[in-house]
Amino acid sequence: MGRLILLGLAVLILVWLVRRALHSRKGGAAQPPGTPGELVSCAHCGVHLPRAEARAADTGLYCSEEHARLGPRRP
């Protein structure tokens, strides 16, 4: 019975240490590398993409140079 209690206590301590290590790693940066950031919609086709990858034009944000050239979608 005593061994079972010690084993359970050891498992709890191990889980606590792992969670603490993972939590401290997350707190270092506001956004980890590879996080897309803010998503925007293409004014021509409506596809969502990260703002950093969008092409800006006078009439809006686009997913490609071709869509920027074509402009916003017409109904």
At 74, the pLDDT band (50, 70, 90 cuts) reads confident
| pLDDT tens-digit map of 20-46 | 888 776 655 555 555 557 899 999 999
Task: Return d(Cα 61, Cα 72) in angstroms, integer.
Answer: 9
- The more confidently predicted of residues 11 and 27 is 11
Is the pLDDT reported for residue 75 higher than 80? Answer: no
Q: Is the pLDDT of residue 60 over 80?
A: yes
pTM as predicted: 0.52
Q: How far apart are CA 14 and CA 8, in angstroms?
A: 10
Enclosing H/E stretch for 12? helix 2-26
